[in-house]
Structure 1
Amino acid sequence: MNIGHIEIVGNHIIAEEVLQVIQAWDQALLGQHVDDLMQQCATDISMFDVSSQLDGVRQYKKEWEKFSPYFNEEMKISRREVRLYAADDLVVMHCHSKVENPILKGKLDMPWCRTTLCLQKKDDAWLVVHQHISMPVDLLTGQAIVLKNKPKLRLVV
């Protein structure tokens, strides 16, 4: 897991617990272990991303099974501008994230995305209850706004 500076608001001990869960999450993705990934999700998980909205662990699993052939141990998951809000039973992490695959170098340059993960403590385990992945869009052109190293997001109307 490649994470730059992490700003923690709230309970630092809980934040460290959740960062270990996110590291296991990344390993499950890179190892194509969809079932391991699902063990880290609540049954009522929801996900919003650039192209879909999913509710429930079954739909979520189907989505990851569709993409798992593109994940492998050569890939790198990077996060920057990570902010983690940690309370006793709920943690929200938002950041910019990027997945890079050396096999696709020169063919496909994945952009930085905005990512939010919400985790809730259920039965002594931190489970992902919501994930949101998005890219800012210029409303006039419909084109994605590429997040640079120092992103400056603005609403264009």
Structure 2
Amino acid sequence: MVTQHEMDEAEIRGQIGRIVEGLRAKDLEGLKRVYATDIVSFDIEPPLQHVGIEAKLKNWAKVFTLFESVNYEIRDLTLTVGDGVAFGHAFGRLSGTLEGGPVTSGMWVRATFGFRKIGGAWWITHDQVSVPLDVESGKGMTGLEP
């Protein structure tokens, strides 16, 4: 018999899968069904925080204008699931063909997700993307791989 915990974890993994599908399809409406309306996102680009679904989708829309085709992959997703909240972390990489034809393999980033169960469904209410920092130079280390 499948437990509620197993069903919740499967639903959350499905939400992460929908991010991958939405990015590959350049589907903002699909992505909108993953994030809570009041998401707080600490994304890779300024400002320090993006608040609300429109701000989050604006970041993805910018990606869609830069890329002719988008690929996104998640590696090593680990989840901790409670009754009404959950969190997870993984490595993510955005790659693809840029407008005009150059192909980029992208860079691996660290991604952290916070989830809340709202109205019986799991929504991403917080995410954070980062790269390691070389303290001496103050520069991000974008060539690392998991």
Q: Which of the five TM-score ranges fits, normalised by the shorter chain?
A: 0.7 to 0.9
**1:108, distance to aligned residue in structure 2 (A):** 3.1
5+ long unaligned stretches in structure 1: 1-10, 150-157
Q: Pick the aligned partner of 1:43 from 37, 46, 67.
A: 37
Equivalent position SS for 1:148: coil
Q: In 2, distance between residues paired with 1:55 and 1:32?
A: 21
Partner residue, 1:97: 92
TM-score w.r.t. structure 1 length? 0.76
Unaligned runs of 5+ in 2: none
Deviation at 1:148, TM superposition (A): 2.8
Q: Which amino acid aligns with 2:10?
A: E
Question: 1:44-63, aligned counterparts within 5 Å?
Answer: 44-52=38-46, 53-63=49-59
> What is the aligned partner in structure 2 of residue 109 from structure 1?
105
CA distance in 2, matches of 1:132, 1:20: 19
Q: Does 1:33 align with 2:27?
A: yes
Contact 1:41/1:128 (CA < 8 Å) preserved in 2?
yes
The equivalent of 1:77 in structure 2 is 72
Structure 1 residue aligned with 2:9: 15
- Larger RCO, structure (CA 8 Å, separation 6 or more): 1
Displacement of 1:79 in angstroms is: 2.1
| 1:71 CA displacement | 5.2
CA offset digits 1:73-103 (Å, max 9, x no partner): x5432222321111121121101111221x3
What is the root-mean-square deviation in Å for CA atoms of aligned residues?
2.1
Residue in structure 2 matched with residue 133 of structure 1 by the alignment: 129
Instruction: State how far apart, in whole Å, the 2-side matches of 1:100 and 1:114 are.
Output: 15
**Alpha-carbon offset, residue 12 of structure 1:** 3.1
Whose strand fraction is larger, Structure 1's or Structure 2's? 2
Tell me how far apart the structure 1 counterparts of residues 27 and 104 of structure 2 sit (CA, whole Å): 24
Render the CA deviation track for 1:126-154: whole Å, top value 9, x for unaligned: 111011100011011122223234xxxxx
1:110 CA displacement: 1.2
Q: Give the secondary structure class of the aligned counterpart of 1:51.
A: coil
